[in-house]
Structure 1
Amino acid sequence: MLDGRIMGLDIGDKTIGVAVSDIMGITAQGVKTIRRESKKKDIEELKNIIKERQVNKIVSGLPKNMNGTLGPQGEKVLKLCELIKEETGLEIDFWDERLTTVAAERSLIEGDVSRKKRKKVIDMLAAVIILQGYLDSKSKF
């Protein structure tokens, strides 16, 4: 049994998709897509969500190359997560996010969501997929 919620992040260069688990740690819900401005502002916005939603752990998608190695994007994610950890004091786990954006895009297309709307929610949905995968892996059911 978890106490508090887990926040899922899909960190990109322009946006950060944010999802939060329910209190039981069973389901992930999309919260928002943060338009990135500066590290300071991005982290402030995350801290507000953490406080508001009583988050006590973070799971960030970690982009890897198809062969499992870490590329430049993965390095950027690790660096930002280090800052987030310093600022929030929360533990951060990483989840292999290969193909999560592809999965998010596919489910939006299947749901007949217009291209313009897809662009707005794809990162948030990717965060939901990352967090849900993590929650499912920890599930005792």
Structure 2
Amino acid sequence: MSCLFGFDVGTKVIGVAVGNRLTGTARALAALPVRDGVPDWQALDQLRREWQPDTLVVGLPLDNEGKEQPMTRTARRFAETIGERYGMTAVFTDERMSSQEAARRFAAGRAAGTRKRSDAKSIDAEAAAVILESYLLQA
């Protein structure tokens, strides 16, 4: 298999992206809600059944000096939980600047007329794609 999932873990939304090792590309897939610290497992399970990824890549939020911060623990817990749920080991990649890059891409799409203001909710999924692209470049 060559399909990977990338995750941008937040406290209110988890961005999900799908990538392909053969092409080295990734694309935004979904921005799923998190309620009371629990992701929308039903939606994640459906995406997993549909895409059947062989690798789970979770963005690891670090501060500007590369040190862990409170959100790092949240991402680590998510990786552990999703790994156990799917019987896979989740891997981490540094996600610094992924949200800024996703916002830049969104703004460029708005300027080009390919994105609407209502698409802003998908920025978390775009950040997951940036995370996955970063991982694919390193792999």
- TM exceeds 0.5? yes
**Which 5+ residue runs of structure 1 have no aligned equivalent?**
none
Q: Which digits, 9 at most, give the CA deviation of each residue in 1:32-91, with x for residues without a partner?
A: 110112565533322221121011110010100111111110011101211111111112
Would the aligned equivalents of 1:4 and 1:54 in 2 still touch at CA under 8 Å? no
- State the one-letter code of the partner of 2:119: K
Q: 1:25 to 1:121 in 2, by over 3 A?
A: same
User: What TM-score does the superposition give when structure 1 sets the normalisation length?
Assistant: 0.86
Would the aligned equivalents of 1:6 and 1:25 in 2 still touch at CA under 8 Å? no
| Match for residue 27 of structure 2 among 26, 29, 33 | 29
- State the one-letter code of the partner of 1:132: E
Q: Supply the distance in 2 between the matched residues of 1:18 and 1:42 (Cα, whole angstroms).
A: 12
Compute the RMSD of aligned alpha carbons. Answer: 1.8
Q: Supply the distance in 1 between the matched residues of 2:108 and 2:86 (Cα, whole angstroms).
A: 37
3-state SS, counterpart of residue 59 of structure 2: strand
Alignment of 1:1-141 (within 5 A): 3-22=1-20, 24=22, 26-37=24-35, 42-112=40-110, 113-118=115-120, 120-138=121-139
**Which 5+ residue runs of structure 2 have no aligned equivalent?**
none
Displaced runs of 4 or more, over 6 A: none
3-state SS, counterpart of residue 75 of structure 1: helix
Q: 1:48 to 1:69 in 2, by over 3 A?
A: same
